[in-house]
Amino acid sequence: MARLPGVGEKTAQRYVLWLLTADESYARALGEALSALRDQLGPCARCGNIAEICDGSALCSICLDTKRDGKTLCVVARVHDLMAIERAGSMRGRYFVLGKLLSPLEGIGPEDLPIERLLDRIRRDGVTEVIVATPPSVDGEATALLLKREVTPLDVTLTRIASGVPHGGDLEFADPITMGRALAGRRAL
Ligand SMILES: [Zn+2]
């Protein structure tokens, strides 16, 4: 349990002791829910969001929503960021989750990012605007520049969310109003 994000050794120990002394049915139900988690949920085959697995394949509720504007594609680093933008409520397009950011320090290069899948998606869906919503950090900016280089030849409008999201900050912690403003104030990249 100490491997869970935000959980250290002491917290893990507290959880284990509590699970051993609390109502047994709770611990058993939690165990079953955890083992079902990976069978029932997985990454959306189209965008990388969390999706329910159905007959071995998964499409998320956003990709299945026919009212979404498929011509606007918002590129994010992680599912947390997608959820933060969804909470703001002003994004009517669809998403593409990169899964990671370009990070020379951590040895993550352009070849480690799903650029070809992104370009395929843009072509196949006839996307007209790509909104780059990577975080305003060094790695986020480097990734935005890489996307600019790769996407520019495709003749789509390329925009970057405005700041207002603090530099070095995580989109996940931006409040919905700030996130909404950052999205509304996006600029050409
Ligand atoms: Zn999806």
Mean pLDDT computed over every residue of the chain: 90
How far, in Å, is the centroid of ligand 1 from the Cα of 60?
4
Question: What's the gap in Å between 26 CA and the centre of ligand 1?
Answer: 32
Considering just the CA atoms, what is the radius of gyration of the chain in Å?
A: 19
Residue 100 is given by DSSP the state: S
> Distance between CA 45 and CA 26 in Å, rounded?
33
Which residue shows structure tokens 């029932």? 40
- Please tell me the distance between residue 72's alpha carbon and the centre of ligand 1 in angstroms: 14
pLDDT category at 67 given cuts 50, 70, 90 is: very high
Cα 43 to ligand 1 centroid, rounded to whole Å: 8
Measure 95 CA to ligand 1 centroid, in angstroms. Answer: 7
pLDDT for residue 32: 92
From ligand 1's centre to the CA of 9, what distance in Å? 35
44 alpha carbon – ligand 1 mean position (Å): 5
Give me ligand 1 centre to Cα 97, in Å.
9
What spacing in Å lies between the alpha carbon of 94 and ligand 1's midpoint? 8
The tens digit of pLDDT for each residue in 90-146 reads: 899 999 999 999 998 899 999 999 999 999 999 999 999 999 999 888 899 999 999
Beta strands 157-160 and 129-132, pairing class: parallel
pTM over 0.85: no
The larger pLDDT score, comparing residue 39 to residue 101, is at 101
- Token pair in block for residue 66: 């026919």
Categorize the per-residue pLDDT at 24 as very low, low, confident or very high, splitting at 50, 70 and 90. very high
Bridge pairing between strands 93-97 and 157-160: unpaired
Distance 122 CA to ligand 1 centre (A): 14
Q: Determine the distance separating the centroid of ligand 1 and the alpha carbon of 157, expressed in angstroms.
A: 22
17 Cα: distance to centroid of ligand 1 (angstroms): 39
Q: Residue 166's pLDDT is what?
A: 62
Confidence (pLDDT) at 167: 57
CA of 89 relative to ligand 1 center, distance in Å: 17
pLDDT at 168: 62
Question: 29 vs 15, 36, 129, CA distance in Å?
Answer: 15, 11, 45
CA 77 to CA 189: how far, in whole Å? 17
